[in-house]
Structure 1
Amino acid sequence: MPNPNDLDPSRSPLAFFGADLRRHRENADMSQRDVGKSVYCSGALVGYIETAKRFPTQTFAEACDKLFGTDGSFGRLWELVARCALPSWFREYPEFEAGATAIRTYQAQYMYGLLQTEDYARAQLRMGRHEDLEAAVEARMDRQRVLTRANSPEIWVVLDEAVFRRRPADDSVVRAQLQHLLDYRYDPKMVIQILPFSAGIPTSADGSFNLLTMDEGADFVYSEGVGTAHVMAHPDEFKQASFRYDLLRAAALSPEDSAEMIASLLEEL
């Protein structure tokens, strides 16, 4: 965990919230564990929020106002945090991913990172012309450790058919990737669906997004643009995105039919 002293509170509302929480906690001569006990969460979560590695919930913010007597300032700041768009410095997404109990993702163009084989990841990342390709591949593979931990999250993946039609590598790499997907066919914590072209225009025509349900901290929606990462943690926004995701799942092929389609594509190769 990074030292809070190393964080710049001006870089985002989330970082400012964390810095302000730390300031009030230290002024009250309280430890992170003390604050956690007072607001009914773990001391570790308090530390994560102070270092901008977790989004606080509205309940947490209101509890901090009550604890420190701050007359609603944490609650008002939470409104900014919940609607913040994190800039390019946001590199801690894997930490958020590792703290999730459930992940729902829709991928419109590329294979979901947590499901990529190493060779497929290398082929895709090569297209982005990374200065250090192998470091980028290693980082992507490292993210996948979340799948093998004891309390791994439940994951629901909807892949647009375009993911399979746009192939970044030679047939041998694609075959291995398709077989890798089929290996999850009966995994109790993984569901994979394909949204076929025949389903028409998807309800998320504006692109891919992830929904993360957190063990501690606020649930949030994560998406990426050109050089930016966008996070929405307001409950209303999360609810709206969840409904959109449910529509995608409903329009997609069933998990069984999706596996059959993947097997058919594999046979074609």
Structure 2
Amino acid sequence: MPNIRKLDATASPLHHLGAEMRRYREAAGFTQDELGRHVYCTGSLIGQYETARKIPTRDLTARLDASLGADGALLRLLEMALRFQVPLQAQELADLEAEAAQAFLFEPTVVNGLLQTEGYAKEVLGVLRKDALDGRLAHRMDRQRILLRQEPPLLWVVLGEATLYQAVGGPTVMRTQLARLLDLRDHPSVHIQVLPFTAGAHAGFQGAFSIFRFNNGPDLAYSEDYEAGHLTANSQVVTARTVRYAHLQAAALSVQDSADLIARVMEERYEARPGCRAMA
């Protein structure tokens, strides 16, 4: 079924690109499926570009521009879209996570949502807002289904050591949450490192961020403020975040040493002895 989500073309350059792509397609008399056949992709993918749910590659945009007789207009709009941040809502973030082939996540003070237990997530989501909490909690837990897929995305996570000590919800919640992190050692696609206090000054002082990589699409950088999440495909920003993430990984403990630290904090601070590998 064609994607008929309405866009506000003034909301962002990406929305403008989607609206113009649809306008050119309709003026040319193509359905989404017909246009998809012309440029060697699916009609569904065309719909996602037109509704600003995905960012097209430059190569595909060039084929679309040529097929629709846009005389370079779509390519110019793409370049503009790549330079600006795009506001992202919760469901759009979940879609992004589900489509990514690789995700690199840095969280200095809180466990990332993809790794949270229900008890921990409920405390985090309910700090200031109790309205619709059950629904928001169910949505966050549903995001984690990507880790159960036959071919889950590669997930690399760097957590600040403060994450282990911030007693979200109390000892029971924290014991369960840290046990969850330890259980994920056996997941083939999840790798967790802890950035220790002893790292001193580090590349993540400006806050949490994520980098998403796709099999068919540009790399994207994502960050959040108190009101919303923001996404950009600006190559300079993505490259800078990639370098920053490499420095964080280099300063963090190894995966095994991180697991040992998590187990030690779990035992000493939250009074539980996990069933885990012996520590050195």
Which bracket does the TM-score occupy, shorter chain normalised?
A: over 0.9
Matched residue, 1:119 = 119
**Residues 109-258 of structure 1 mapped to structure 2, 5 A cutoff:** 109-258=109-258
2:123 is aligned with what amino acid? A
Secondary structure of the structure 2 residue equivalent to 1:240: helix
> 1: distance between equivalents of 2:185 and 2:31?
46
Secondary structure of the structure 2 residue equivalent to 1:264: helix
> 2: distance between equivalents of 1:198 and 1:261?
13
> 2: distance between equivalents of 1:147 and 1:30?
38
Note the C-alpha offset of 1:91: 4.5
1:211 is aligned with what amino acid? I
Matched residue, 1:11 = 11
Q: 1:185 to 1:91 in 2, by over 3 A?
A: closer
> 1: distance between equivalents of 2:237 and 2:79?
12
Q: TM-score, normalised by structure 2?
A: 0.89
Note the C-alpha offset of 1:18: 1.1
> 2: distance between equivalents of 1:239 and 1:60?
22
* Structure 1 residue ranges without an equivalent (≥5): none
> 1: distance between equivalents of 2:257 and 2:159?
13
> 1: distance between equivalents of 2:64 and 2:235?
19
Q: TM-score, normalised by structure 1?
A: 0.93
Q: 1:89 to 1:149 in 2, by over 3 A?
A: closer
Q: 1:199 to 1:231 in 2, by over 3 A?
A: same
Note the C-alpha offset of 1:179: 0.6
> 2: distance between equivalents of 1:186 and 1:80?
42
Q: 1:110 to 1:51 in 2, by over 3 A?
A: same
Note the C-alpha offset of 1:230: 1.6
Identity over the aligned pairs, expressed in percent? 40
> 1: distance between equivalents of 2:170 and 2:27?
60
Note the C-alpha offset of 1:3: 4.2
Alignment of 1:50 onto 2:30:
no
Of 170-179 and 228-237, the range deviating more from structure 2 = 228-237
Q: CA RMSD in A?
A: 1.9
Query: Any conservation in 2 of the 1:99–1:216 contact (CA below 8 Å)?
Result: no
Query: Any conservation in 2 of the 1:160–1:194 contact (CA below 8 Å)?
Result: yes
Note the C-alpha offset of 1:88: 6.6
Matched residue, 2:259 = 259
Instruction: Provide, for residues 134-184 of structure 1, a one-character-per-residue CA deviation record: whole Å limited to 9, x for no partner.
Output: 122111111111111223211000001121121211101100101111111
Query: Any conservation in 1 of the 2:6–2:51 contact (CA below 8 Å)?
Result: no
Q: 1:119 to 1:50 in 2, by over 3 A?
A: same
Note the C-alpha offset of 1:66: 1.9
Matched residue, 1:96 = 96
Q: 1:89 to 1:2 in 2, by over 3 A?
A: farther
> 1: distance between equivalents of 2:58 and 2:122?
40
Of 9-18 and 56-65, the range deviating more from structure 2 = 56-65
> 1: distance between equivalents of 2:79 and 2:100?
22
1:186 is aligned with what amino acid? D
**How many pairs are equivalent?**
269
> 2: distance between equivalents of 1:61 and 1:2?
20
**Residues 52-67 of structure 1 mapped to structure 2, 5 A cutoff:** 52-67=52-67
Instruction: Provide, for residues 57-105 of structure 1, a one-character-per-residue CA deviation record: whole Å limited to 9, x for no partner.
Output: 2222222222222222111111221122234767511111111111110
> 2: distance between equivalents of 1:23 and 1:95?
25
* Structure 2 residue ranges without an equivalent (≥5): 271-280
Note the C-alpha offset of 1:243: 1.4
Q: 1:89 to 1:176 in 2, by over 3 A?
A: closer
Note the C-alpha offset of 1:221: 0.4
Secondary structure of the structure 2 residue equivalent to 1:6: coil
> 1: distance between equivalents of 2:70 and 2:8?
22
> 2: distance between equivalents of 1:39 and 1:3?
18
2:128 is aligned with what amino acid? G
